[in-house]
């Protein structure tokens, strides 16, 4: 009988341990997917001239005022983004941060010459906001 009890206890312990591990992996996977979605959504918003909405949704609150000022300047200069590519997007689970690099094709009126700019992005997961926030400002569209 003691052999059976020990066996059952061993199985229960292994089951609980595996559940805890799976929960941690699931949380890590969810944040990674959410990071990828946030990076794509933010950059897509820039592409479709929703620069203010992108800022309101994804920029760190303490950087928002400066971001919106820069967005208004770019809008007045006639910035038009024609395409973008996400070159890299890496989630770092131990620090709940992420690094991404996007590349934008754009022109600024009255010129119709297409230029390309690389845009490194630093992201951080904010538990209190339950989402990803961008710590990097806008790139230099020249």
Domain ranges of the chain: 31-134
Given pLDDT bands bounded at 50, 70 and 90, which one contains residue 21? very low
pTM of the model: 0.80
DSSP secondary structure string for all residues of 69-101: HHHHHHHHHTEEEEEEEEEEEEEETTTTEEEEE
Domain 31-134 carries which CATH code? 3.10.450.50
Given pLDDT bands bounded at 50, 70 and 90, which one contains residue 20? very low
Q: Which two tokens stand for residue 95?
A: 């620090």
Three-state DSSP class for residue 31: helix
- H or E element that contains 2: helix 2-47
- Averaged over 129-135, what is the pLDDT? 92
pLDDT tens digits along 73-87: 999 999 999 999 999
Residue 58 has pLDDT above 60, yes or no: yes
d(Cα 105, Cα 136) in Å, to the nearest integer?
A: 19
């Amino acid at each position: 009988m003691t052999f059976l009890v020990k066996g059952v206890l061993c199985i229960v312990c292994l089951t609980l341990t595996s559940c805890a591990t799976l929960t941690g992996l699931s949380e890590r996977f969810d944040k990674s997917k959410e990071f990828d979605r946030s990076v794509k959504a933010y950059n897509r918003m820039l592409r479709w001239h929703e620069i203010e909405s992108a800022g309101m949704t994804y920029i760190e609150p303490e950087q928002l005022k400066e971001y919106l000022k820069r967005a208004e300047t770019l809008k007045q200069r006639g910035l038009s983004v024609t395409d973008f590519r996400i070159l890299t997007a890496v989630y770092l689970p131990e620090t709940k941060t992420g690094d991404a690099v996007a590349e934008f094709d754009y022109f600024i009126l009255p010129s119709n010459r297409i230029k390309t700019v690389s845009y490194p992005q630093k992201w951080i997961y904010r538990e209190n906001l339950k989402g990803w926030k961008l710590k990097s400002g806008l790139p230099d569209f020249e």
